[in-house]
Structure 1
Amino acid sequence: MIESTAVRYFRMVTECGSIKQAAASLRIAPSAISRQVQGLEEELSVKLFERGARGMNLTDAGHVLYRYAVENRTQLDGLRSRVEEFDSLRRGQVKIATVEGMLASFLPDFFVGLSRDYPGISMSVTAVRSRDVAEMVGQNEVDLGLIFGRAPRRDLIELARMRQSVHLIVAPEHALAGRTSCSMNDLAGLRVVVPDPSFGIRQELDKACAQASVHLEVCNETNSLAFAQTVVARTELATFLPRDTAMPSIKAGTLVAIPLRDKRLEATQVTLVQLAARTASPSTRLVAERLIAKMKEAED
Structure 2
Amino acid sequence: MLSTAMLYFRETAKAGSLRRAAEQLGVAPSAISRQIAKLEGELQTALLDRRANRTTLTPAGELVLAHADQVLQNSEALRGALQELIGQPVGTVRIGSIEGMVSHFLANNLARFQKRHPQVKLQASVVGSRAVLEALQEGRIDIALAFNLPERHAFREHARLEQPLCAIVAPTHALARRRSVSFRELEGHRVALPDRSFQIRHLVDRIASKTQVSLDLVIETSTLDMAKGVVRNSDLITFLPRYAALHEVSNGDLCAVPLQERDFAATATSLLTMPGQRQSPASRALLEMLATSMGRYGSNAVPRSDSGNTRVQK
- Total equivalences in the alignment: 220
- The normalised TM-score by structure 2 is 0.65
Instruction: Name stretches of at least 5 consecutive residues in structure 1 with no aligned partner.
Output: 1-80
Pick closer, same or farther for the CA change 1:173–1:99 going to 2, 3 Å.
Answer: same
Which AA in structure 2 matches 1:234?
N
1:177: how far off?
Answer: 1.3
RMSD: 2.2
What does residue 29 of structure 1 align with?
none
Give, in whole Å, the separation in 1 of the partners of 2:271 and 2:148.
Answer: 10
Instruction: Name stretches of at least 5 consecutive residues in structure 2 with no aligned partner.
Output: 1-79, 302-312
1:274: how far off?
Answer: 1.1
Deviations 1:20-76 (A, max 9, x none): xxxxxxxxxxxxxxxxxxxxxxxxxxxxxxxxxxxxxxxxxxxxxxxxxxxxxxxxx
Q: Radius of gyration: which is bigger? A: 1
Deviations 1:213-246 (A, max 9, x none): 2111111111100010111111111100111111
If each structure's helix is expressed as a fraction of its own residues, which one has the higher value?
A: 1
Give, in whole Å, the separation in 2 of the partners of 1:285 and 1:89.
Answer: 12
Q: Are residues 1:105 and 2:130 paired?
A: no
Give, in whole Å, the separation in 2 of the partners of 1:151 and 1:289.
Answer: 24
Give, in whole Å, the separation in 1 of the partners of 2:250 and 2:282.
Answer: 33
Which AA in structure 2 matches 1:148?
F
Give, in whole Å, the separation in 1 of the partners of 2:125 and 2:87.
Answer: 23
Give, in whole Å, the separation in 2 of the partners of 1:194 and 1:223.
Answer: 9
What does residue 246 of structure 1 align with?
245
Q: Are residues 1:203 and 2:189 paired?
A: no
1:124-135 alignment runs, 5 A limit: 124-135=123-134
1:118: how far off?
Answer: 2.1
Give, in whole Å, the separation in 1 of the partners of 2:104 and 2:193.
Answer: 20
Native 8 Å contact 1:166 1:201 kept in 2: no
Which AA in structure 1 matches 2:199?
G
Identity %: 34
The SS at the match of 2:206 is: helix
Deviations 1:91-121 (A, max 9, x none): 2221100000001211122123312322222
- Stretch moving more, 243-252 or 138-147: 243-252
Pick closer, same or farther for the CA change 1:168–1:265 going to 2, 3 Å.
Answer: farther
Native 8 Å contact 2:159 2:291 kept in 1: yes
Give, in whole Å, the separation in 2 of the partners of 1:166 and 1:253.
Answer: 19
Which AA in structure 1 matches 2:260?
R
Give, in whole Å, the separation in 2 of the partners of 1:86 and 1:123.
Answer: 21
What does residue 179 of structure 1 align with?
178
Native 8 Å contact 1:134 1:151 kept in 2: no
Which AA in structure 2 matches 1:209?
A
Give, in whole Å, the separation in 2 of the partners of 1:104 and 1:291.
Answer: 14
What does residue 285 of structure 1 align with?
284
Pick closer, same or farther for the CA change 1:89–1:154 going to 2, 3 Å.
Answer: farther
1:254-273 alignment runs, 5 A limit: 254-264=253-263, 266-273=265-272
- The normalised TM-score by structure 1 is 0.68
